[in-house]
């Protein structure tokens, strides 16, 4: 008879101890707010901070590049792949060919020379509406 009494007493004491421990716990603290990061200011450049000297250099460089682009359209240097009277084709690269048209008055240096197939030539002129180069001068390179 003592045994059930001891078991019951132990159970009552364990239940009382857990209830007392739960009552003694401190109330849960409010959650701490998450700090909001402050934005980092982005540096900006003033629009007109370029000095006049630098601006002049940039302008001259742009003009030189534009002039070179125009000259590249109006000049060709390479090996003659085809030549017949007023028509010529110049190979200016491995797979690059440029059509050249001669006209009465085209100057060929050395004077009186004839650019034959395989000759290296330097042609100056102006680009025609069809993209062909209208030759003004042809210099045959030796």
Q: How confident is the model at residue 24 (pLDDT cuts 50, 70, 90)?
A: low
Q: Which three-class secondary structure state does DSSP give residue 128?
A: coil
Q: Residue 67 belongs to a domain with what CATH number?
A: 2.40.50.140
The whole domain housing 112 covers 52-141
- Summarize the confidence of residues 33-41 as an average pLDDT: 80
b/e per residue 32-55 (b: at least 16 CB within 10 A) = eeeeeeeeeeeeeeeeeeeeeeee
Classify residue 33: in a domain, yes or no.
no
Q: Is 85 left (phi over 0), alpha (psi -120 to 50) or beta?
A: left
Does a structural domain hold residue 40? Answer: no
Q: In the structure encoding, which two tokens stand for residue 36, read together?
A: 């909001």
Each residue's pLDDT tens digit, 101-114: 999 989 988 887 88
pLDDT at 9: 72
pLDDT surpassing 70 at residue 125 = yes
7 in any annotated domain: no
pLDDT-based confidence at 16, cuts 50/70/90? low
Residue 26 predicted with pLDDT over 60: no
Domains: count for the chain: 1
* pLDDT tens string 44-87: 766 666 778 888 888 898 898 888 887 777 889 999 999 998 99
Q: Which of 7-16, 24-33, 65-74, 92-101 has the highest mean pLDDT?
A: 92-101
């Amino acid at each position: 008879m003592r045994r059930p009494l001891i078991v019951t007493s132990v159970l009552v004491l364990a239940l009382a101890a857990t209830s007392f421990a739960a009552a003694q716990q401190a109330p849960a603290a409010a959650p701490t707010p998450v700090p909001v990061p402050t934005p980092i200011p982005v540096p900006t450049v003033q629009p007109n901070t370029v000095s006049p000297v630098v601006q002049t250099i940039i302008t001259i460089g742009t003009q030189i590049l534009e002039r070179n682009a125009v000259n590249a359209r109006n000049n060709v240097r390479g090996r003659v792949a085809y030549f017949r009277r007023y028509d010529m084709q110049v190979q200016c690269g491995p797979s690059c060919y440029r059509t050249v048209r001669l006209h009465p008055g085209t100057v060929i240096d050395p004077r009186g020379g004839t650019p034959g197939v395989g000759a290296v030539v330097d042609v100056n002129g102006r680009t025609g509406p069809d993209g062909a180069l209208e030759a003004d001068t042809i210099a045959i390179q030796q």
